[in-house]
């Protein structure tokens, strides 16, 4: 397991400045010419950001608490300008926004670099890229070299940049671990492209890609043994499938793939279907570790499942977010609270819609708590069910069919769990 780098504050004596000792992975990118400013968040933590700052604000967090979908929703729906940096391990992706629109993106991943993209698109040859890379300097970037040497036209360079920005944005939605930082402020005027599709459509594609990637990862984990099948590989894939001739794992094979995780797993699905790649069964569930006689094992902590009320509220939040990402006003859900269904007026008395689409379940429970605990809980669930049903009906008019159907499936699963 990778060890996270640490920072250790060293407090000075009274009147003396404090110091912060950083481990080498953190300190590698620092220099005296680019000092850091500390933004404290009570005694629990602080965020270090470079000075002088050209941003007007920031927000940061972990993808374990906010998903990429939610982060993008915050930036896009807020029509914000600035830079979003997402990092996990050695992978770092950065997207620049102007008024909620992505206009530029860079990545540390090899196949998401401009040089790799222009070769992949067939705009230049690998030999031309090698020649151009030898002439890159700190002040002369690869795009400028390619056009100056006549390897690439300005039009093709812009087309490649547009493609690259789109791919980096979509591949962000594959990330489920790591951290993010959004620095709000006007981006530089240079290095900006105009994507052909609307941002909300791009985000919806990203959400679909993220969900598809998660589904494929469950089907094809990295430790799955594979071997090349009897069917001949398609042209251009001989070398990759040759690495599985004597058997390997998907994780090893993935390290030789030039493309996103989604494209690799899609390829695995296709090749396993046509017989060019054979997936072998992994070993059954590992046996529990042996322990010395007389000892005991402390069971791992369990995560309490969401209550039915919390699941209804979570589904309301998903519907609220989906409506916002589709470019519509999620406040249209307030119509239900302003005029509840007959019989629910008391339950929703004084209940408002939260900024994330959730409602105050405790207030609903209090409103209907005159008939005992069991009856109050049943009436609370009935009230929540009515609101979710209304929200789904309203959302169907503004959401793409696939997304609307996915939300309905979640609703049906929730109802079946209560029956």
Same structural domain, 251 and 329: no
Same structural domain, 319 and 414: yes
Is-cis flag, bond preceding 85, omega within 30?
Answer: no
The answer to whether residue 172 sits within a structural domain is yes
DSSP designation for 56: S
Same structural domain, 170 and 88: yes
Same structural domain, 140 and 262: no
Predicted confidence at residue 92, as pLDDT, reads: 92
Structure token pair of residue 404: 């609307």
Q: What is the pLDDT of residues 310-353, one digit of tens each?
A: 888 888 888 888 888 777 887 888 888 888 877 888 889 999 98
What is d(CA 120, CA 358) in angstroms, rounded to the nearest whole number? Answer: 45
The answer to whether residue 300 sits within a structural domain is no
Same structural domain, 64 and 176: yes
Confidence bin at 293 (pLDDT 50/70/90):
very low
* Count of domains for the chain: 4
The answer to whether residue 297 sits within a structural domain is no
Rg (CA), the chain: 26
Question: Over the chain, what is the mean pLDDT?
Answer: 82
The answer to whether residue 98 sits within a structural domain is yes
pTM metric for this prediction: 0.62
Structure token pair of residue 376: 């109050």
Question: What residues make up the domain containing 164?
Answer: 55-200
The answer to whether residue 378 sits within a structural domain is yes
Same structural domain, 260 and 327: no
Predicted confidence at residue 169, as pLDDT, reads: 94
Q: Where are the beta strands (DSSP E) in 200-297?
A: 225-228, 248-249, 277-279
Question: Smallest Cα–Cα separation from 128: which of 118, 139, 137?
Answer: 118
Confidence bin at 86 (pLDDT 50/70/90):
very high
Same structural domain, 155 and 267: no
The answer to whether residue 275 sits within a structural domain is yes
Same structural domain, 321 and 413: yes
CA distances 278 to 64, 220, 222, Å, are 34, 12, 14
Predicted confidence at residue 303, as pLDDT, reads: 46
**Percent of the chain having pLDDT more than 90?**
26
Q: Which of 49-53, 57-61, 260-264, 270-274 has the lowest mean pLDDT?
A: 49-53
Predicted confidence at residue 263, as pLDDT, reads: 93
User: What average pLDDT does this structure show over 249-277?
Assistant: 91
Cα pseudo-dihedral 267, 268, 269, 272, rounded to 10: 120
Same structural domain, 80 and 177: yes
The answer to whether residue 399 sits within a structural domain is yes
3-state class (DSSP) for residue 190 = coil
User: What is the sign, positive or negative, of the torsion defined by CA atoms of 181, 52, 107, 102?
Assistant: positive
Same structural domain, 32 and 168: no
Confidence check: pLDDT of 178 > 50: yes
Q: Are 225 and 247 in contact (CB under 8 A)?
A: yes
The answer to whether residue 46 sits within a structural domain is yes
H or E segment at 82? strand 82-88
Residues found in the chain: 419
Same structural domain, 148 and 81: yes
Same structural domain, 271 and 184: no
């Amino acid at each position: 397991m990778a060890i996270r780098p640490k920072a250790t504050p060293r407090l000075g004596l009274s009147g003396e400045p404090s110091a912060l000792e950083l481990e080498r992975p953190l300190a590698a990118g620092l220099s005296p010419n680019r000092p850091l400013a500390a933004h404290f968040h009570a005694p629990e933590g602080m965020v270090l950001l470079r000075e002088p700052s050209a941003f007007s604000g920031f927000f940061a967090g972990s993808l374990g608490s906010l998903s990429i979908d939610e982060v993008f929703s915050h930036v896009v729906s807020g029509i914000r300008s600035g830079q979003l940096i997402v990092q996990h391990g050695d992978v770092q992706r950065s997207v620049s926004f102007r008024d909620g629109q992505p206009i530029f993106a860079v990545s540390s991943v090899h196949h998401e670099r401009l040089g790799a993209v222009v070769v992949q698109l067939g705009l230049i040859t690998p030999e031309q890229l090698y020649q151009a890379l030898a002439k890159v300097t700190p002040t002369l970037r690869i795009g400028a070299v390619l056009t100056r040497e006549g390897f690439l036209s300005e039009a093709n360079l812009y087309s490649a940049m547009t493609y690259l920005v789109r791919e980096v944005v979509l591949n962000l939605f594959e990330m489920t671990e790591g951290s993010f930082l959004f620095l709000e402020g006007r981006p530089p005027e240079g290095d900006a492209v105009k994507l052909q599709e609307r941002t909300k459509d791009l985000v919806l594609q990203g959400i679909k890609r993220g969900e598809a990637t998660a589904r494929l990862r469950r089907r094809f984990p990295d430790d799955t043994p594979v071997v090349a099948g009897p069917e001949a590989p398609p042209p251009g894939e001989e070398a990759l499938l040759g690495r599985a001739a004597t058997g390997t794992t998907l994780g090893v094979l993935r390290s030789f793939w030039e493309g996103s995780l989604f494209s690799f797993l899609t390829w695995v699905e296709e090749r396993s279907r046509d017989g060019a790649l054979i997936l072998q069964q992994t070993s059954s569930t590992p046996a529990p570790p042996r322990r010395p006689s007389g000892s005991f094992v402390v069971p791992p902590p369990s995560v309490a499942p969401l209550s039915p009320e919390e699941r209804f509220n979570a589904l309301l939040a998903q519907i609220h977010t989906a409506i916002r990402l589709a470019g519509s006003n999620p406040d249209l859900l307030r119509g239900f609270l302003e005029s509840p269904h007959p019989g629910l007026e008391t339950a929703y008395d004084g209940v408002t819609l939260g900024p994330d689409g959730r409602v105050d379940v405790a207030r609903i429970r209090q409103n209907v708590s005159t008939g005992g605990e069991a009856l109050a809980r049943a009436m609370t669930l009935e009230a929540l069910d009515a609101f979710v049903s209304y929200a789904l009906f309203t959302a169907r008019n503004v959401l793409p069919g696939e997304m609307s159907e996915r939300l309905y499936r979640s609703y049906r699963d929730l109802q079946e769990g209560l029956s």
